[in-house]
Structure formats: C-alpha cells, structure tokens
Structure 1
C-alpha cells in the first residue's frame, strides 16, 4: 500500500514545506499562558476584572473549542512531501529546534502557574490579594493541557535514536509523572498495537471511562515488566538508576519535591489535578487512535504485521500542526523513527470524521461516540463485526445486533 499521491504545485526541485513556519504554533499552548498574563493585567487596568476569570481557563478553551473550529474552517491537509525531499527534511534541524523550544516554555508556564496559585498578593497584576479557588482550578486545568500536549512532544522525541532527544523526552514527561510512557509506548504499544493484549488499544463498545483505568494501570504494569525483563536478561536487579522507568519517575519526584519546597504544601492538590488531567489527555488520544481495530491472526497463530488499516487517522491541518502530525498515525506505526515533518497521509487508512481535538470531546460522551464511531468500525470490516476488537463484556450484544450482517458478509 502506498501513501497518498499528491502532485506538487511546483517542480520537485522547487518544492517547499508550506507548513514550515506553521509548526511553531505547537508552542502556542504553553505560550498562551504567558499571553494570558498580559491580557489579565490589561483588563484589570481598565476595570474589566470580571472578564479575567475566563482567561485562566485558556487551556480547555483553546483545545476543545478554538482548535476544532479552526479545523472545520481550514479542513484537511493531505499534502505529502515528495520522496526526493524526505532525507533533506529529515536532516533539517529547524524542525528539531521547534520541539526543543516547547520544553522550556512548558516549565516556565508550570512554575508561573504554581506561583500564581500560591501567591497571596498579586497587586502587580491588578488583583486585591490572590486568585480565587475557581481561578486556581482553571489555571491548574490549563497547565494540565500544557503537560498533556507535552507528552506528545515527548512521544516524538522518545522515538529517536539520539540520547539527547531521549533524555529530553523523559524531562518533558516529568510534569505529568508519566515517565513510564517512554518505555511502554516504544517497546510495548508499538509491538502489541491493535490487539486485545495492548492496554492502549481501545475496544469496540468500550467507553473512554472504562478504557481509562485499564490503560493507565495496564501501561504502568507493562512498562515495569519490560524493564524488569531487560535487567533479568543482563543478570542484574531492576532496582537501578539505569532502569528507564525509575530514572524517569525520579525526575518527577525531583520536580514535584522542588515545587512543594518552593511554593508550599498549598500547591499539592493542584499538582495532583494537573497531573491526572495531563496524562488523561494522552489516554483519550490513545482511545480514539485504534478504537475497535484489530490485527488478524495468521495461520501460524501470530498477529499480522501492523498496517495502515490498524490506526484511525485524521488529516485536519490545524490539529496536525499543534500535534506534530500525530494524526498521521498509520505512517507513524509503519515507520516509528520517522520525524513528524515527513509523516505521510495514507490512502486506504480508516479516517475519523474530524480532527483529534473534536473527537476527544466526543469520546467523553459514550453514547455520542458509539453513534458516530461504531458504524465506521463496522463499515471498515465490510459488515463483519467478528473481525473487530470487541470489548469482551459487550461481545454478545454486538454479535446479537450485527451478527446477521456479519454472517452475510463472512
């Protein structure tokens, strides 16, 4: 199967990446919180203090409202770089520096938020005292989006071979205390993707709320098992600083311990809130990426090789830019080390009806999600529901509902 063919508007030798400078918008999420400070100050100066309460909720407003609306307006992308440009794009360090720049912005925002949450006097911002509880919750939720999207930055860096990028991946994961993702995603999920054994592949009929505890606990257990097995093969104890689960968690311990030492224990509930919501943002993306899709077993009893048919894609340009082409998920699974700027849109891969940002909102409401997605899973398997990855507790229900169709098409 080949990627979607796109005829360049100009000769290959003159081709240019039209998104080259748009990629910097990925830094808008952490940058937005810095912009919010300026807006809050300005509104307080002209007496519009009541309006500032909304601005502390900038994270969910941007991700759940503004980006989906822009996706609808701009529509899909679909352009692939010519093959002759792949190596040149891959070696262009400009694209790496964009990822690197996210990390200092992420932690500037994090510490800024911790200060604002615990400060008792914000007169310089135009407040009489500190922030109210609702404002603090909004701010904590907003920085959870910075940490959650930071996991996607860590995802991109963690797949690379350079030690610097792998360590930067772990540093980025520290805010959400999800360092074990570095191990589980690369050596667990990419091996078991779209199979019942993968905790990060959601099943047909499984709601996001049922998927969440299964994937969170399952991924944690799997990451420890993978590292424990690796050390056992070397004849060593896994209780070592070289254990990639432990050294990643240690970064979070240092970060959280330093934050509490600097800002006091008042910050603890907000730290916990932003942590849980941050890694939950990753898990809702995991939920929609492989929903109901499964690799079939071959005659040997092994699963078939992962192909574009085993990932839900979306090529809406706005979310693509914000998530570094994460939506071109089929190409990512086919070529995990391929850098984001050269990921391709594939013909024949199953596609979501909208961008990831819109679909995340839908996933929070299971009846709506099933109404939109179940029929797409069924259509993907040409009416044969038995070929889907069905949630065990819902299997009889789905077979009863679609069994006649399945028998007819099998």
Structure 2
C-alpha cells in the first residue's frame, strides 16, 4: 500500500516547471533559462535513456485511483502556483533591473508555466462535469488569454478531430508556422460560432448570462485590468508575451498530436467514430508524468471524460518516435519533421 502511494507521488514532478521558473527569477543571468533547458533538453534526455512504459492499470487499480481525490487536488493546486509565478514575475520586472537576456529567459520560463500549469491543466479539468472543475479550467486558461479554448476544444475539436473541418488538426505537409495562425484564428472563430448556435437553439440573447464566450471575454479583461493596477504597462505587456508563449506551446502540441491523421467519411457525409488510431501517442515515462499523461492522447480522444491517471496505452495507436518536448523541437524544422513523420503516416 505504501509502495503504491509512493508511486502516485510521481505526478508531483509536474511542479518542477514552476519551481525552476521561480529559481530563474531569483538567480538571474543565464539561470533565467533553467526551465527552458529542463523542458527541451533534460526531459528529452531522461525520456531517451529511461525505459518506455506501455503498461496499463488493472481494472481494480482504475477503480481505486478513480476515487482518490489526491489526483484532483494535484491539479487544483496549479491555480495558486500559476498566479504566484505570474505575480512574482511582474513584481521582479517592476523592481529589478533585468538585462534583455534575463527578460527573454524569464519570459520563456514563465510562458512554459502558463502552458503546463495553466493550459494543460485547464484542458484536463475542462472535460470534467462539475461546475467547480469547469470554473477552475476557465481560470487556468485566463493567463494565456485563451479562454475560448474551453468552448472550442470540447465542442469543436473533439467532434471534428482528424478531419479537414477541425482547425486544430494539422494536414499532411502543413508547416507548423502556418498551422499556428490557422489554428489560433479559426479556433477562435469556431468558438464563437459554437456559442452563437447554442444561444440560438435555446432562444437566448447575445447578452444572456449563459453566453460563455462573452463571460470569458470579461474574465480576461478583468485579469488584464488587475495586472494594470498592480504593474506598469511595459511589465503587463511582457506578462502577456509569456501568455502568448504558452499558447504557441499548446498549438505546437496540437500540431503533433494529430498530424496527417484522418477519419474516414461515411456514406451519410458524417465521419467514423474517433478511434485510438486518430491521435499520435507517446509512452515516454517522464514526459507523461510532467504533463499529467497528456501524451497518452489516443485514449483521451477515445474517451474524453477519463481522468488523466486512468488513461490507457492502445497498441493500435500510432506512436511518436520521441516524446513531446523533443518532437516540438523537430516540428520547428519543417524538412526534418516531414522526413521523420511522413513515412510513419498510415496509407
């Protein structure tokens, strides 16, 4: 029992990101890049030299772990951590004489925290049914100024994933940098279309309290107003830049998660059911832990309501040759990405 409890502590490794971001703020100099080096150098190396684990939990283990609130509280604690890191970043920017190198390093480090503690955890909680979990998801997405993800991801992406309709699914041969613009702009437009259709179906006005997109827009404005009352305009703009970095990290992950995969069109013009083969999977141990099992993405799309600690590996899902951080770096070099990934695509 104690041994299993100790194993469950592994997800605390996800807090390494914010801890290193705080360390970089205090240490200064080249140490400002500590979190960046950890994510894009140390994690790939650890994944490369550690044993890949494709094993799944037993049914009894799933029942037990599914009831443990510990796994939920690990997620909830990301909100105060995220807000603390952002407030500390803003305070240091206003009070310390950072060099340009330190500003760049710390902005990237905090941006990684926005992407991991914020967007990634917000994504997990956004699939839950309780009002508390959904509120937490919206708050976690706010520092990235990407709250429309809450609407579009659940009602758009999961419905149309691996089709040409979904802006967050990368086409074969599509370059990452073009994908960023397509996914960001079209996802935002899609979120509003989804919201307006929901209001029309319920005969509600645009100004209804049930207009989630409008509520989330006000939430982001409130967040920016709070920042402007606490910090200088320049500092707020740098904090916003860290949010943009978090968004680009998210969209890069979107790019690699479904690149080139397609669902068949049915005779009725619909699409076949989403299956594990429609998402790229990665079972590299450490990368899985620090991202709350996001890399077992095939099972997440197969059953979106399943909690992160219960996700399975599917043998028939396509497997990425490296973990997420390494593949994100590869995606930045399109010819290398196409050379590695295109031969792996199913016919």
- Report the TM-score range of the alignment, normalised by the length of the smaller protein: over 0.9
- Report the equivalent of 2:81: 105
Q: Report whether the alignment pairs 1:26 with 2:14.
A: yes
**Residue deviations 1:194-238, cap 9 Å, x none?**
000000000100010111111001100011111111111111122
- Report the equivalent of 2:101: 134
Mark the CA change 1:328 to 1:229 in structure 2 (over 3 Å): closer, same or farther: same
CA contact 1:330–1:346 (8 Å) conserved in 2 = yes
- Report the equivalent of 1:154: 122
Give the Cα–Cα distance (whole angstroms) in 1 for the partners of residues 53 and 3 of structure 2.
16
- Report the equivalent of 1:54: 30
Q: Report whether the alignment pairs 1:78 with 2:54.
A: yes
- Report the equivalent of 1:89: 65
Give the Cα–Cα distance (whole angstroms) in 2 for the partners of residues 105 and 338 of structure 1.
25
- Report the equivalent of 1:330: 298
Give the Cα–Cα distance (whole angstroms) in 2 for the partners of residues 14 and 310 of structure 1.
38
CA contact 1:141–1:277 (8 Å) conserved in 2 = yes
- Report the equivalent of 1:206: 174
Mark the CA change 1:258 to 1:318 in structure 2 (over 3 Å): closer, same or farther: same
Give the Cα–Cα distance (whole angstroms) in 2 for the partners of residues 146 and 168 of structure 1.
16
- Report the equivalent of 2:187: 219
Give the Cα–Cα distance (whole angstroms) in 2 for the partners of residues 209 and 315 of structure 1.
26
Give the Cα–Cα distance (whole angstroms) in 1 for the partners of residues 195 and 297 of structure 2.
26
Q: What secondary structure, in the 3-state scheme, does the structure 2 residue paired with 1:21 have? A: helix
Tell me the CA shift for residue 264 of structure 1: 1.4
Q: 2:226 aligns with which of 231, 250, 258?
A: 258
Tell me the CA shift for residue 340 of structure 1: 0.3
Give the Cα–Cα distance (whole angstroms) in 1 for the partners of residues 170 and 5 of structure 2.
34
Give the Cα–Cα distance (whole angstroms) in 1 for the partners of residues 269 and 223 of structure 2.
46
- Report the equivalent of 2:23: 35
Tell me the CA shift for residue 57 of structure 1: 1.7
| Moved segments of 4+, more than 3 Å | 13-19, 35-38
**Residue deviations 1:227-267, cap 9 Å, x none?**
11111111112233432222223222112211121111121
- Report the equivalent of 2:132: 164
**Residue deviations 1:73-120, cap 9 Å, x none?**
21312121101222221111000011011111111001100111121x
CA contact 2:156–2:190 (8 Å) conserved in 1 = yes
Q: 2:268 aligns with which of 294, 300, 324?
A: 300
In structure 1, the gaps of 5 or more residues are 1-12, 41-51, 123-129, 382-410
TM-score for both structures, normalised by structure 1: 0.81
Q: 2:287 aligns with which of 294, 298, 319?
A: 319
Give the Cα–Cα distance (whole angstroms) in 2 for the partners of residues 15 and 333 of structure 1.
31
Give the Cα–Cα distance (whole angstroms) in 2 for the partners of residues 304 and 18 of structure 1.
41
CA contact 1:71–1:317 (8 Å) conserved in 2 = yes
Q: What secondary structure, in the 3-state scheme, does the structure 1 residue paired with 2:77 have? A: helix
* Structure of greater Rg: 1
Give the Cα–Cα distance (whole angstroms) in 1 for the partners of residues 47 and 215 of structure 2.
38
Tell me the CA shift for residue 23 of structure 1: 0.3
- Report the equivalent of 1:402: none
Q: What secondary structure, in the 3-state scheme, does the structure 2 residue paired with 1:77 have? A: coil
CA contact 1:17–1:81 (8 Å) conserved in 2 = no
Mark the CA change 1:19 to 1:78 in structure 2 (over 3 Å): closer, same or farther: farther
Q: 2:323 aligns with which of 349, 355, 377?
A: 355
Give the Cα–Cα distance (whole angstroms) in 2 for the partners of residues 223 and 14 of structure 1.
45
RMSD between superposed Cα atoms in Å:
1.7
